[in-house]
Structure 1
């Protein structure tokens, strides 16, 4: 970075605060676009490899997650990403095996899908408990605890002897896995700088999105050739395996900015403790369980979350909960064939979408900052990367609906799956990255809003999808749902041009600012 650019940044500093530290607000601090803490007076501004200021500025504490070596950051990203994959995997592995499940419990295949719907619903509720606890006691102990809940409840689902027992264990499984989506996103934000966050969030969301697409592949073969019970046993085994890996390999990333560094010659090893890392002065209060609802009042969070929830439901959950029934009726597919058709098509689409999504959003942010003298950061730049997903999502839905209605060869709806999942991966990466940039300290709460919306909207799919398509025709259902997706996208377009103004008027949340 040139001396002129550094001088320009320092010229915009707000001087010494009450703690004697110098800070820079690249934009209005109330908008929380960027608030760079420069540390003590005279401390050198830390830059990235392109010469732009690191955002956020890391402390001099070696146990600060921003100062972790890159290999450890990648290890953390892979662990929380795989954990995010296990969430929908717990819920969706059974989907291709609805026929044997329904036969065993003497219910219809539509009713059999309700146990997935219930798990999805409670996966949207549980995080309202886990996030406040994790913000006080740490991400690591909460993730370990909830992973054990997920493993035990999934094992219990496989052992269930009655329908009511199965439903009860699925409720517990949804509650346990709910932390995987929210706390994992918080750990990504804790660890990576702004210029890395888009790609890191892209990796996280590709695991999250692809989980429901991978799940039908083993689920179909297990349901057909072994037993539907193994569609629950497999996630239980993977949950427990992940618990062991995280116990030995996942450090705590909760860190209070401005806290006094703890003198130790093994800072990373210290972060592997299960307790004793609670930030000084941080105590759990009843109000902490209600603070997370504050994020619902911010239009940029609420409306982008609603658009994401609708498109995720139509692009990922809709194929997952309807394929077992429709592919059996139309193509006489067994469980393993349904799993392969659903899993491979969606997996290829999501993977290709991630190759485009994460790179594009990070590159657009870099070019935007590079072109400004003071390195000004406007998160709305991220939203420009959403166009490919927004255009392709309704196209894929229409391909799926018309192919189902007119009984084309199975490759038709499978191509529709792939297009939709290509689109939703781009949408997911952009929405997660944009909101994390707008309100970084509140990333877990934002992930909670996204998770709650996705799970709440998605849980309804099993109740209306096949009945609606049967009544009005799957082609008209696809047209209707495509129009719904386009309407919910309109606020996102508005935010591209006026999002900063809206955020400036709303101000920034007052809690978690030191995280």
Structure 2
């Protein structure tokens, strides 16, 4: 791509020569190599991505079920609830540092080894958690589970970029968000019921068994999705984009018929090895190799996230996601305090059931952002002479932030006044809707713009998210005591909406920013590739 072309701006639609129908340009451009993950058939992609989603669900379950179990842990281990809040902060510290430490290794040595190690360590952490008896073990097991889950968000985004084209990523991210929120809101319901019937330790025994089985399945079933497109003679996403002809051809007739869109690769850009010998498909053992090494400089991979983080679109996503996680941590940490006391007096099972509201909201939010955003960008590209701009996805964010901020206020105010639990659940559902949709939209936008630096971008996003969240569990008790439940969540809701409105200037000026900083991005890509 020429330097004046901003990263992420691509021709998404082209008119077919023989008809009025439009075709969706496949970006990244697939090769003819059967080992290219973009060329895998649907069942093969689905199986590997399903394993990733299972690991995501299990990882977030291990992280998120603890607040539901705190009342039983307090009684069983004879510790104050603040000890487990400290454990939650230790977990967030593990998430923040683990991502920065382990993702560079994933970039250089492949996704498969990282997933296997992550699931295996998570299994060990769950087995140990089920047996812990001291404060030191609370902190250590929380850090280990944090380290094991640290790579999840970033490596999943890398996997989505490996497997799916640009017009499919919103839906892929929607399934990822569903797995995240199922681990955050659905499995705690089951954990609460199991804890009530058999005690909190059996929740972690069950999770340890599940993670152990999952580690074995990953070892023998998960394929490497890392594919070096440049070394295989393929144009990369940014260098292969030509915009001028696309705009001209679509300017000739803007009265395009709805629904006449099919999916093909761009002629002349499905460049690959068509003129050379097509490689044979890898054997099973080749697909199961533990590492896939490329020649990037490892030390540059460790420092690159610092530079990428300060690209405005990445920084915007980091701020939005980290603030949302702060609200989620406060929501999760206050629930057992408020709802285990009068007038609610919920057991562990009741605390788990309280998460059904956010679960319903997140399912709706994933459908809203995943399905609608992919369709919206095609429609908007059609109106924009066939050219896709990543900020097009941001048009969906206004109702998202209204729902998040309003949901938090409804939750806090109704719970503070002791209203029927259905009202706080409605607030939780609205928050869940916004949380899920926001993550899907902003994550997909970052992949769309900085495809070649996806990992570095999400290392920064995840580090900021967890680093900021570390302090949240420490603030819950004093904030709740000094301000009260209602006022506390009114402030949180207003902060949520105010921070969210930062999307407006990005929507207006985003392309100008990408154009101005495009040379910086391409320089970072070249440094990663050749040094």
SS in structure 1 of the partner of residue 298 of structure 2 = coil
Instruction: Give 1:452 deviation, angstroms.
Output: 2.2
The alignment's C-alpha RMSD in Å is: 2.4
Select 2:7's aligned residue among 31, 37, 54. Answer: 31
Q: For 1:293-442, what aligned pairs fall within 5 Å after superposition? A: 293-314=306-327, 316-330=328-342, 331-342=344-355, 344-373=356-385, 375-442=386-453
1:19 corresponds to which residue? Answer: none
SS in structure 2 of the partner of residue 52 of structure 1 = strand
Q: Distance in 2 between matches of 1:217 and 1:161?
A: 24
Unaligned runs of 5+ in 1: 1-23, 37-43
Q: Distance in 1 between matches of 2:171 and 2:282?
A: 27
- Map Cα deviations across residues 337-376 of structure 1 (whole Å, 9 max, x no partner): 111122x111111111112111111011101222333x31
Comparing 136-145 and 467-476, the one that deviates more: 467-476
TM-score scaled by length of structure 2:
0.84
Contact 1:97–1:220 (8 Å) recurs in 2: yes
Q: Does 1:57 align with 2:29?
A: yes
Contact 2:108–2:296 (8 Å) recurs in 1: yes
Q: For 1:435-514, what aligned pairs fall within 5 Å after superposition? A: 435-507=446-518, 508-512=521-525
Comparing 331-340 and 218-227, the one that deviates more: 218-227
Instruction: Give 1:216 deviation, angstroms.
Output: 1.8
Contact 2:5–2:515 (8 Å) recurs in 1: no
- Map Cα deviations across residues 417-440 of structure 1 (whole Å, 9 max, x no partner): 111001111111111111111101
Larger relative contact order (Cα-Cα within 8 Å, sequence gap ≥ 6): 2
Q: Distance in 2 between matches of 1:233 and 1:448?
A: 31
Q: Distance in 1 between matches of 2:377 and 2:448?
A: 11
TM-score scaled by length of structure 1:
0.87
Contact 1:93–1:218 (8 Å) recurs in 2: no
Q: Does 1:197 align with 2:210?
A: no
Select 1:121's aligned residue among 87, 93, 100. Answer: 93
Unaligned runs of 5+ in 2: 233-272
Instruction: Give 1:382 deviation, angstroms.
Output: 0.7
Instruction: Give 1:150 deviation, angstroms.
Output: 1.1
SS in structure 1 of the partner of residue 26 of structure 2 = coil
SS in structure 1 of the partner of residue 387 of structure 2 = coil
The 1:460/1:509 distance shift into structure 2, 3 A limit, reads farther
- Map Cα deviations across residues 303-337 of structure 1 (whole Å, 9 max, x no partner): 232122212331x3322222122111130111111
SS in structure 2 of the partner of residue 125 of structure 1 = helix
Q: Across the two proteins, how many residue pairs are aligned to each other?
A: 476
Contact 2:309–2:461 (8 Å) recurs in 1: no
1:11 corresponds to which residue? Answer: none
Select 1:211's aligned residue among 183, 191, 198. Answer: 183
2:288 corresponds to which residue? Answer: 273
Instruction: Give 1:474 deviation, angstroms.
Output: 1.6
Comparing 86-95 and 451-460, the one that deviates more: 451-460
Q: For 1:282-301, what aligned pairs fall within 5 Å after superposition? A: 282-301=295-314
The 1:152/1:497 distance shift into structure 2, 3 A limit, reads same
Q: Distance in 1 between matches of 2:40 and 2:283?
A: 8
1:94 corresponds to which residue? Answer: 66
SS in structure 2 of the partner of residue 207 of structure 1 = helix
Select 1:149's aligned residue among 110, 121, 124. Answer: 121
Q: Distance in 1 between matches of 2:426 and 2:347?
A: 19
Contact 1:310–1:454 (8 Å) recurs in 2: yes
